[in-house]
Amino acid sequence: MKDSKYLTIDEVLNKGSGNVHLRGWVYRERKSNKFVFIVLRDESNIIQCVVSKEKNPELFEEAKKLTIESSIKVSGELKKDERAPTGYEISPVSDLEIIQIAEPFPITAEQSPELLYDNRHLWLRSRKLNAVLKVRHTVVGAIHEFFRSRGYYEFDAPIFQPIQSEGGSTLFEVKYFDDKVYLSQSWQLYAESAVFSLGKIYNMGPTFRAEKSKTSRHLAEFWMAEMEAAWMKLDEVTEVAKDEIRFIIQEVLKHNRKELEILKRDSNLLEYYVKEEYPTIKYTEALDILNNEYQMHVPWGKDLRTIEEAKISEFFKVPVVVTHYPTKIMGFYKPPSNDNPEEALCFDMLAPEGGLEIIGGSERSLLVDDMIKRLEADGEDPLRYAWYFDLRRYGSVPHSGYGLGVERVIQWICGLENIKDAIPFPRTMIRKTP
Ligand code: ATP
Ligand code: MG
């Protein structure tokens, strides 16, 4: 049963006046001869609470014991005060119950990022991570809502998989009784079998890639939101991706204004991304832009590097879809175009402000012989993909899909420098604790 006396700080701020009861943790404290100033923190916000020696000498002595992160219950009068961090304060505090005096908190103001990662279990309480986690909640909810409201079924694939989809170099091998399997790099190959039953499907789940390079945009364990749809071609699937991104931003703007402010993220920019059209260009056109506008000479056939993606995004200033990458650098399931087999029917979406790749997708190849050749060239045994090729034997139809990096989208929307701050407990090559 709810202990109805207590309100959250946000509920109290909305109330605006009166005698109120709060509970939470000491976010900051400052002691003078006459007052103890406590900034109280709970899940919703922070508020200053003032204990006066003159008005309540006994409470003043109690309050002097408080340390950062001590847990307390506070009652008192809510008053407007422009100088207080959230415009109001509890003054004077009329009752203070100490639940626990915290030991000296290992995190102080100036700290190295690694120490914050070592203390992630405690740092989750920071205003920054509290805000990011709330945005994450919105993003995840928005993705479910986006697909469900458009008639997509949620479909789950196995995490233990005997085959790879994204290249052997990032596979996590797992002992599987007397055999071995891999952790899922993608839901896609299994999803392709399900569209012949359910038509349009989506999923959001943990995805594993043994990324050996240290970048600010790769995790070893991340969440990918994927979709797959029968009958869909490249021109249609790219539009679904644009709509999804627009919807996610809209939802964040609807629910997370306060969090964006805490993260110092310019919400005007996000509003701009909701209103503007997102261009679709071909890889070859991207090379032209790099060449003509930035004097960067990327030879046709090379994948775009981070710096080149950054320039493309700088040029367009909104999310941009790049299609038709060179077939030879794409996964075996991305089909060559009929017009020019050197180009694959695939796309990436790059986010503005840095060119972060947030989505990768394609039509799926229907050409079994071509796929077998490409798998063999990668050192794979095509026989293990026999079930996958069955899908091209029994009523094959065009179909397409894409994967959206949930943490990449959060990183971009929140304006985070490192993707590690977009997930509660990041996993990378050099970070697996706590
Ligand atoms: P990148 O070139 O950045 O490594 P990718 O081409 O390997 O990406 P895809 O296989 O297309 O990526 O995966 C779909 C989406 O999943 C990407 O667009 C990205 O948003 C996200 N993603 C891929 N790898 C990672 C990772 N290691 N950590 C976080 N997100 C990732
Ligand atoms: Mg990759």
CA 217–ligand 1 middle distance (angstroms)? 9
Residue carrying the six token digits 């909640």: 137
Q: Which ligand number lies closest to the CA of residue 217?
A: 1
358 lines ligand 1 (CB under 6 A): yes
CA distances to 5, 48, 105 from 98, rounded to whole Å, are 17, 16, 17
Q: Where are the domains of the chain?
A: 3-100, 117-422
Q: What is the pLDDT along the chain (434 residues), one digit of tens a residue?
A: 566 899 999 999 999 999 999 999 999 999 999 999 999 999 999 999 999 999 999 999 999 999 999 999 999 999 999 999 899 999 999 999 999 999 999 998 778 989 999 999 999 999 999 999 999 999 999 999 999 999 999 999 999 999 988 888 899 999 999 999 999 999 999 999 999 999 999 999 999 999 998 899 999 999 999 999 999 999 999 999 999 999 999 999 999 999 999 999 999 999 999 999 999 999 999 999 999 999 999 999 999 999 999 999 999 999 999 999 999 999 999 999 999 999 999 999 999 999 999 999 999 999 999 999 999 998 999 999 999 999 999 999 999 999 999 999 999 999 999 999 999 999 999 999 99
Q: Which atom belonging to ligand 1 lies closest to the Cα atom of 402?
A: 14
Residues 6+ apart with CB under 8 A from 318: 272, 273, 276, 277, 278, 279, 352
Ligand 1 mean position, distance from CA 133 (Å): 21
420 ligand 1 Cβ < 6 A:
no
| Ligand 1 atom nearest residue 359's Cα | 18
8 Å CB contact between 25 and 38 = no
CA dist 434 to 42, 116, 416, Å? Answer: 23, 11, 21
How many alpha carbons fall within 13 Å on the CB side of residue 393? 6
Largest CA-CA distance found in the chain, in angstroms, rounded: 87
* CATH T-level topology, domain 3-100: OB fold (Dihydrolipoamide Acetyltransferase, E2P) (2.40.50)
CA of 336 to the centre of ligand 1 (A): 21
> Is the distance from the beta carbon of residue 166 to the nearest atom of ligand 1 less than 6 Å?
yes
Query: Of all protein residues, whose CA lies closest to atom 25 belonging to ligand 1?
Result: 218
Tokens for 35, please give them: 């007052």
Candidate from 187, 357, 423 with most ligand 1 atoms within 8 A of CB, to mutate: 357
Residue 380 bridge partners (DSSP): none
Within 10 Å of residue 34's Cβ, how many Cβ atoms?
A: 12
Instruction: Kindly report the backbone phi and psi dihedral angles of residue 162, in degrees, each rounded to the nearest multiple of 5, phi listed first.
Output: -80, -10
Q: Which fold has domain 117-422?
A: BirA Bifunctional Protein; domain 2 (3.30.930)
Mutate to test the pocket of ligand 1, among 170, 186, 221, 224 (most ligand atoms within 8 A of CB): 224
